[in-house]
Structure 1
Amino acid sequence: MDKNNTMVCDRNTEALKEPLGIYAKTPSTHEFIDPLTGLITRFKIDPKSREYVEEIDPSRFRWERFAYKSVVNQLLPTSRTSKCMRWRVPKQSLQILKSQEHNKAFYTGLQICASVWACPVCAAKISERRRAELVAALAVARSMGMQVYLLTLTVPHGLGDDLKALLEQIHKAYSKTSSGRAGQNIRKLLGLRGTVRALETTYGVNGFHPHLHILLFLDGGFSPASVQNAFAPLWQQACMRAGLPRPSDEHGCRVDDGTYAAAYASKWGLESELTKSHTKKGRNGSRTPWDFLRAVLDKSEGWQQAAILFRTYAEAFKGKRQLYWSNGLRDLLAMGEQASDEELAAVQEDSALMLAELTDEQWRAILRTKSESIVLDMAETHPQALPVLLASLLERAKKFVTGTG
C-alpha cells in the first residue's frame, strides 16, 4: 500500500488491492472506489434518461475541501490560511461535535482564517450563510413589491494585466457610477433602492477576468433591457474615467430579470454565480481559482502554472469583501447588522453534542494521515466506532514516521 494513502476503513483497504478500483452494485447505485485516494464516487440511474449520473455526496465535497486546503497549505505556507483548521487554539480543548439539527460533525478548538478567497473550508461555511441571507433578502423585497434584477459588469482585459491593479480600477470605476450627477439621476429615475455587489474572477486565454455581479433592488416598472440601456453608457464612461479601456457594447453590461437573480441567489453548490463563484468550475475553457487547486492536487498538465496563478489570485483578493451591501438596504429589508467573515466562520451550533475530545497525539495523527474528513464522516455515521478509528490512525501515523507504512 502507498504510504501516502490515507484511507483506513476495511472496505477501502480492500479496494486498494485492486489495480483499477472496484465497483459495488446496488439495485440503483454504483460505487467506484479510487485505488489511490480511496475517494468514493457514487453514480445513480437518472429516471428520465436512464443513464448513470453522479450522485451528490456531501461527504465527498468535504473530502475535496480538505484536499484543496492541503494544497493551499503548500502554496501559501506562511499565511494565516496554512494554520487554519490545523493549529489548536491555546488553552482550549479540541473536540469533535455533532449538530443535532443538521446531523453534521465538525471540529472545535482549532484556529480559523475566515478567508473566503483562499480557504476552501472557511469559504464553504461563510458563503453558505451569505447565501441564506441573500435568499431571505430577495423574499422580503418581493413581498414589498420590488423587482430584483441581476447586473453583470465586465471590463476589457489582457494577459499582461496586473490583477491587483485591475481590481482597484474596477472598484474605482464602479464608485464613479454613483458619485456623479448622471449616476445619481439614473438611480433616481429607475427607483433603485439598493444593491448587493459581488466580485468574481475567472482565468482564460486573455488572463484573469474579474467582473462584478450586482443585485439591483428596484421599485419596479422598467424592463431589464431598459435598465441595461441606462447603465451601459454610465459604466463605459466610468471605466474610461478610472483609466480602463471602454467596455464593449456587447459584453460590458448585461441585465437579467428576476428569474436569473433568484436563481443566482439560491442555486448554491459548486455552480453558483454569486458568493460561491470562485468555487465553481470554469465554463467555455475558462478556469476558476478552485480549478487551479484541483490541477495542483491532481498534478495534471500545467499544474505548475496553476500554482503560480493561485498565489497571484490569493494575493490580489486578500482582504477584499465577498459581498457589499449598499448603505441602507439591510435596514430597508430588516436584515439586521451584517456579520463579518470572521464571525460567520466562527459560528457554532448551539445544540451540538460532543462526540470526542482529541489529544495532541491523536490530532497529529489525523493531520499526518490526512484524515480530517474521514474522521468527521465516521462521527456522523458510526460515532461509536471513533475510538477504533483514532487508534488505527495512531498506528498508521507511527508507520509514516518510521517509513514502514
Structure 2
Amino acid sequence: MAKAVAAATEDDPEAIRRKTAAARKAARYGQRRTLWRISGDPKCRGCGRNLMDPENGALCVQTSEGYSLILGVQKCARIWLCPVCSRKIRQKRTEEIDSGLVDWIERGGTAFLVSLTARHDFRDRLADLMDALQGSRKGSDAQVRKARKNRAEADAAYERAEEEADRIVQAARRDAPAGVKKRAMAAAREEVAPMLTAARRALAKAQDGVSTTTRRAGAYQRLITGGQWAGDPRKSSEAAVIGLRGRIGYVGMIRATEVTVGDTNLWHPHIHVIVLVGGSFATDLDGHQVLGDVFTPDEEDLAAWEKHWRKVWTGHLQKTNPKYRPSDTCSIPDCKCDGKGHGVDFKRLETAYDAKKAAKYVAKTQDGKSPAYELAAGDLKTGRDGNMSPFEVLGRIGDLMGGVDPDDVPGHGSLQWCIDIWHEYEKAVAGRRAIEWTRGLRQLLGITGGDTEEDDIDALFDGEDAAEFRAGVRVTDDGWAAMARKGLDFEATQAAEGTDGDSAAIRDRMVSVATDAGATPEVAAGWVEPLNPVQVGEVWDAIKETSVRRSAEAAARRRRERDRETLPDRLRLALLVLVLDVHSGRDGWTWAWSRAEGRN
C-alpha cells in the first residue's frame, strides 16, 4: 500500500486518498482470496466466488456516482472472518453509532467509552477467554436435543445400574447363611461398585454435555445484573431502591468485541462499550417506554458506578479463573489507568459545536478518535506492541503462501503457526456477536434496523438495491469462475470504475481481465455481454428473485428435516420395524414396539 500511495503526487491530497483507498481495497480482496484457501467456513470459501444464480452470471456495473459494483455473487456476511464483508458491515455500523451518539449528546445526555480486558498468557485458549468475557454460546437446536437425549439415556442407565446393584446385594443377603449376611452384602457392594462408578461418570459426562449447550453469562453480562445495579425494592433508601442504574440514568450501551494475537502472550480479546447515561423514561399514550427528561448524573453516583463495575468485572473473572483477574492497581509510571488497574478503563466523551454552521461534530475521545470508530471499525485496526489483528494474520498467511520472505512480511510467526492461529480464531468466534446494542436502545435513539446476522446481510445489499446503474456487463458463470480461480476478482471490480457510462468500454476492460485469466480473446469475448442500464436492472431483479425462491425452498427443507428429528427415536424405529415386518403373522404393532425396546 505504501508504494501505491508514494506514486501519488504529494501536492494532490485527493489523488493520495484515492490511491490509499484502492490499495486498502486490493489488500482486503487479497485477504479474502487467502480465506478461500484456508477457511473452514463454507460461506467464507464461497464469498465473492460462487454465484447467486449461475444461469444469469455476475454483473459488473457502474453506478451514477462512478463506483463499481459486482452483483450476483454470494456474500458470507461474516463480520469476524471476511475482510470484504466486514468492511461494509462495519462502515454501516459506524454510521449508526455516530448518528445515535451525536444525537444523544446534543440532547444533553452523557456518554462513556469503557474498555474491558482480562489478564492472559500464552497458555490460554481463545474460546475460554471469550467465554469468560462475553459469555458462552448456546448450542444449536440439534445439539441441544442430542445433549438432552444423551442425558436422559444416561440417567435411565444409572437408574438401571442402581436397581441391578440393589438386586445383586439383596440376592447376596438372601443366599448367605445366617451370621455372614452383612459380610456377603459388603462383598456384593464392592463387586457392583465399578458398575455404579461407570454409570455415574457417564451421567456426569452427559450432564456436562447439556451444560455446554446452555448459555452461561460472562463478565460483561454480570455488569448489568444484580440488586446493587438494578435496585432492590426491599431496601429502605431511595438510592438503593432505584440502584446505580437509576441514579446515573442508564439508557443502554453498544458493545463491540475485538481480538488481537501477540507473539508472547498470544490471544488478547477485549470489549469496548459506549454507555449512554443521564436519561429518564416515560410512557407514551400507547404504553410504550420512551425517553423523557435528560439530566447530568451526579459525580458521586458516576464514581460509585465506575467502582461497582470494576469490582464486578474483576470479581467474575476471578470466579471464572483466578488467572484471568486483572490487576487492581498499577505501578507503571505515567500509565493512563491512573493507578486503577488494567481491567476496566473509563473515558468520558465530549462534543464540540460550531455555532456559526450549527454543524454536528462526532464525539471524540481524549486521543482524538471517534468512539464509533473505536467500536465498529475493527477491520481497519492494526495490533500494538507486537500484536496482530486477525486480518493481519490473514494477510501474512497469503504473503507466505505466495513465497514472500518472512522477514519482508508484516507481523510474526511461521506459515503453519499463522494458519493454526486462524483456525482457532474461526472456531472461537463462530456464533458470536461482534457488535451489539442493548435491547430497545436503537428504537429509543431512532435508529432503524437491527444488529443481527440477517441485518448484517441487509447492510451488504443496502447500497446495491438503492444504486442507480449507468452502465454494465454480464459475465457468464464460466467466465467468473475462471477469473476468481486466477484471483482476478479485484481486477474485475475495477473494470467498471469511472464515470464514462460506456458499457462497451467496460466490456473491453473485462475481456482484458478474462484474457489474463488464461482465456483466448475469442473465449473471453464470449464470456462478457454489454448491457444498458435497463437491462442491468432486469437481470439483477431476476437474480434476486431466484435467490429468494431458493432461500424459501431451503428453509422449507430445513423445517421438514427438523420436524422429522423431533419424532422420538424409539417411535421411528418401531415404525420402521412395523413396515419391514407388516407381512408377518405376528401382531405387527405390539411386536414392533417390543423390538424397539430391545425385548424378544
TM-score bin, normalised by smaller chain = 0.7 to 0.9
Aligned 1:247-396 pairs, distance under 5 A = 247-249=326-328, 250-259=341-350, 262-263=363-364, 272-299=373-400, 300-301=406-407, 302-304=413-415, 305-339=417-451, 340-347=455-462, 348-353=464-469, 354-381=471-498, 384=502, 385-396=505-516
Q: Distance in 2 between matches of 1:325 and 1:32?
A: 36
Structure 1 residues 168-189: Cα deviation after superposition (integer angstroms, max 9, x where no partner): 1112111112221123223222
User: Match of 1:246, as an amino acid?
Assistant: R
Q: Distance in 2 between matches of 1:70 and 1:380?
A: 21
Of residues 163-172 and 382-391 in structure 1, the stretch that sits farther from structure 2 once superposed is 382-391
Of residues 363-372 and 246-255 in structure 1, the stretch that sits farther from structure 2 once superposed is 363-372
How many residues align? The count is 357
Partners of 1:126 and 1:345 within 8 A in 2: yes
User: Match of 2:128, as an amino acid?
Assistant: A
- Structure-2-length-normalised TM-score: 0.55
Structure 1 residues 134-188: Cα deviation after superposition (integer angstroms, max 9, x where no partner): 0110122113211111000111111111111221111211111222112322322
Secondary structure in structure 2 of the residue aligned to 1:254 = strand
Equivalent position of 1:66 in the other structure: 29
Q: Distance in 2 between matches of 1:57 and 1:279?
A: 13
The answer to whether structure 1 residue 161 and structure 2 residue 207 are counterparts is: no
Q: Distance in 2 between matches of 1:178 and 1:227?
A: 11
Partners of 2:77 and 2:457 within 8 A in 1: yes
Secondary structure in structure 2 of the residue aligned to 1:98 = strand
Of residues 111-120 and 233-242 in structure 1, the stretch that sits farther from structure 2 once superposed is 233-242
The answer to whether structure 1 residue 79 and structure 2 residue 29 are counterparts is: no
User: Match of 2:515, as an amino acid?
Assistant: E
Shift of 1:234: 2.4
Equivalent position of 2:297 in the other structure: 221
Secondary structure in structure 1 of the residue aligned to 2:62 = strand
Shift of 1:122: 0.5
Partners of 1:153 and 1:252 within 8 A in 2: yes
Identity within the alignment, %: 24
Q: Distance in 1 between matches of 2:90 and 2:507?
A: 33
Q: Distance in 2 between matches of 1:43 and 1:226?
A: 53
Equivalent position of 2:269 in the other structure: 210
Select which of 42, 56, 61 maps to 2:7: 42
Equivalent position of 1:98 in the other structure: 62
- Structure-1-length-normalised TM-score: 0.79
Q: Distance in 2 between matches of 1:189 and 1:326?
A: 19
Shift of 1:267: 5.5
Partners of 2:244 and 2:305 within 8 A in 1: no
Secondary structure in structure 2 of the residue aligned to 1:151 = strand
Shift of 1:44: 4.7
Q: Distance in 2 between matches of 1:131 and 1:383?
A: 31
Secondary structure in structure 1 of the residue aligned to 2:515 = helix
Check 1:370–1:106 CA distance in 2 against 1; reply closer, same or farther (3 A cut). same
Check 1:394–1:45 CA distance in 2 against 1; reply closer, same or farther (3 A cut). closer
Equivalent position of 2:219 in the other structure: 173
Cα-Cα RMSD = 2.9
Partners of 2:102 and 2:363 within 8 A in 1: no
Structure 1 residues 226-269: Cα deviation after superposition (integer angstroms, max 9, x where no partner): 653342122112322344532222101100121499347x958x
Shift of 1:293: 1.3
Q: Distance in 2 between matches of 1:346 and 1:303?
A: 37
Q: Distance in 1 between matches of 2:260 and 2:11?
A: 31
Q: Distance in 1 between matches of 2:494 and 2:460?
A: 20
Check 1:383–1:296 CA distance in 2 against 1; reply closer, same or farther (3 A cut). farther
Equivalent position of 2:539 in the other structure: none
Select which of 252, 258, 261 maps to 1:194: 252
Secondary structure in structure 2 of the residue aligned to 1:380 = coil
The answer to whether structure 1 residue 397 and structure 2 residue 360 are counterparts is: no
Secondary structure in structure 2 of the residue aligned to 1:140 = helix
Partners of 1:72 and 1:82 within 8 A in 2: yes
Aligned 1:11-160 pairs, distance under 5 A = 42-45=7-10, 57-76=20-39, 79-90=42-53, 91-101=55-65, 103-160=66-123
Unaligned runs of 5+ in 1: 1-30, 34-38, 48-52, 401-405
Structure 1 residues 314-335: Cα deviation after superposition (integer angstroms, max 9, x where no partner): 2211221121111221122111
Greater Cα radius of gyration, structure 1 or 2? 2
Secondary structure in structure 1 of the residue aligned to 2:272 = strand
Shift of 1:42: 3.5
Q: Distance in 2 between matches of 1:40 and 1:278?
A: 20
Unaligned runs of 5+ in 2: 135-217, 231-242, 279-295, 329-340, 352-361, 401-405, 408-412, 521-600
User: Match of 2:461, as an amino acid?
Assistant: A
Shift of 1:394: 3.0
